Structure 1
Amino acid sequence: MALDDKAANTGQDLGGKVKEAAGKVTGNRDLEAEGKGDQASASVKQAGEKIKDAAKDILS
């Protein structure tokens, strides 16, 4: 996984956690849901990067 991709995915995950927490504190369900969505998106991207890395290892 490229370091910049890994950092971007981690940043998106952390941003999602912040949004989710802010939504819970303020009672803003839309913000909370957006945060959860950001976290899910980051997880999918991380899984895709891991698959690419595994494929490179197999083909090498």
Structure 2
Amino acid sequence: MKRNNVIILILFLVAIFLVFFAWFLHTTCRRVVSAEVHEMLYQRDLEAQKSTDGDGKAT
């Protein structure tokens, strides 16, 4: 009976680790994607500013 308990405990610990790792990976990827989107929007705004004159007309 003790051998079964050890196997169940190990499987439970592995499952907890996998859930924690998935949460960490999800959080990290979400931050990276958010930063990339922010950078793309910033670059788009810079290009829009460069393409207009001082009076607001496109060149």
Q: TM-score, normalised by structure 1?
A: 0.54
Q: Which amino acid aligns with 1:47?
A: A
**Which structure would you say has the larger Rg?**
2
Greater helix percent: which structure?
1
Q: Which has the higher contact order (CA 8 A, sep 6+)?
A: 1
Cα deviation digits, residues 8-43 of structure 1 (max 9, x gap): xxxxxxxxxxxxxxxxxx850111011000000000
Point out where structure 1 has 5 or more consecutive residues left out of the alignment: 1-25
Q: Percent identity?
A: 9
Q: Deviations over 1:33-57 (max 9, x none)?
A: 1100000000000000001000011
What's 1:32 paired with?
20
CA RMSD of aligned residues (A): 1.5
Runs of 4+ in 1 over 4 A off after TM superposition: none
Structure 2 segments unaligned to the other structure (5+ residues) = 1-11, 49-59
